[in-house]
Amino acid sequence: MKIAIPDEYQDIVPQMGCYSLLAGHDVTIYREPAADFETLVARLHPADVVVAIRERVAFSRALIERLPNLKMIALVGRNATTIDYAAATEHGVMVSTGKSNAPVAPAELTVALMLAARRNIVLEAERMRRGEWPMTLSHRLRGSTLGIFGLGNIGSLVAEAGAGLGMKILVWGQENSAKRAAERGYAVAASKADFFERSDVLSLHVRLRPDTAGIVGPDDLARMKPTALLINTSRAELIAPGALLASLRAGRPGYAAMDVYEVEPIVGGDHPFLRMPNVVCTPHLGWAEWDNFELYFSETFEQIAAFAAGRPLRLANPTVVPRR
């Protein structure tokens, strides 16, 4: 089979043990994103199978209609908001999914961003590299309030780390978050407004769905302290478009740490956050570590091997009539 793996930014897949599952197939890997839609179509047109690395490529109806050879989208991970499942089903394209949920790596990155941003590590390290000496005062974590918006698998690990650092945990989210908070002895905010007002560090851990897009708006951000830090390692679309940039410029919150963006990848340093000394940015690294990659890609490549052998698949669109 012809297999295409687009947007493999880390250039690491051939070095992973699970890559051997694709032995015998014609695999083409593209590290750099396609410059435009037509280039993307040309790259993917020959493929029987395209490996969708999370949400890096948008498999829109327009793209799927231009890929007559495509029989399977092999998704790395369990779900993606960038695949038109209805279009895939109509065109006989199977969408296989992963089965694991590995929260440790994104939780660790969230804690790392919290420490780096709260103690001005990136800012001062760069100043020292330029030959300057420290010029700022930072904020301690112990005794401050860590707001967890969504106490799920990742949020729970971040809360544990914060509590271990002596932070007071404050929770907001759906009913399940409040229930978990009560079980673990964490405080639950009286309201969404109370949550944003009281948090010294506020970390978003909400799954992106139609009903959660833009769940954080300008009014919420305006309630935050001028010394507060907002961390987003979940999805950029959870925050209303343009709201965080405007709020940072207005001084509430005073700081941000970001791992996700509305348009990715960001190349050439072309993003206003990268020009703000009070913002720490990382390039969507939350899930990007060796154990995670081996886990997620193993599940994906196993599905491709199963497809090649005619075995049953784990499909996101189980009603599809496969294209022949």
Instruction: Return the pLDDT at 79.
Output: 87
Using an 8 Å Cβ cutoff, are 262 and 104 in contact? no
Instruction: Return the pLDDT at 189.
Output: 98
Helix axes 104-118, 121-129, angle to 10 degrees: 60
Instruction: Return the pLDDT at 107.
Output: 98
Instruction: Return the pLDDT at 324.
Output: 79
Cα angle vertex 55, ends 25, 9, to 5°? 65
Instruction: Return the pLDDT at 282.
Output: 98
Instruction: Return the pLDDT at 2.
Output: 98
Sole residue written with tokens 């109509």: 90
Rg of the Cα atoms in the chain: 21
10-residue averages of pLDDT along the chain (324 residues): 97 96 98 96 98 96 98 95 97 97 96 98 94 92 98 98 98 97 98 98 96 98 98 98 98 98 93 96 96 97 97 97 90
Instruction: Return the pLDDT at 315.
Output: 98
Alpha-helix runs per DSSP H in the chain: 37-44, 61-65, 85-90, 104-118, 121-129, 153-164, 175-184, 192-198, 218-222, 243-250, 290-309
Element (H, E) at 119: none
Sole residue written with tokens 């001005």: 120
Instruction: Return the pLDDT at 76.
Output: 97
Query: How far is Cα of residue 66 from the mean position of the Cα atoms in its chain?
Result: 28
Domains of the chain and CATH, by start? 2-101+289-309 (3.40.50.720), 104-281 (3.40.50.720)
Catalytic residues: 235, 264, 284
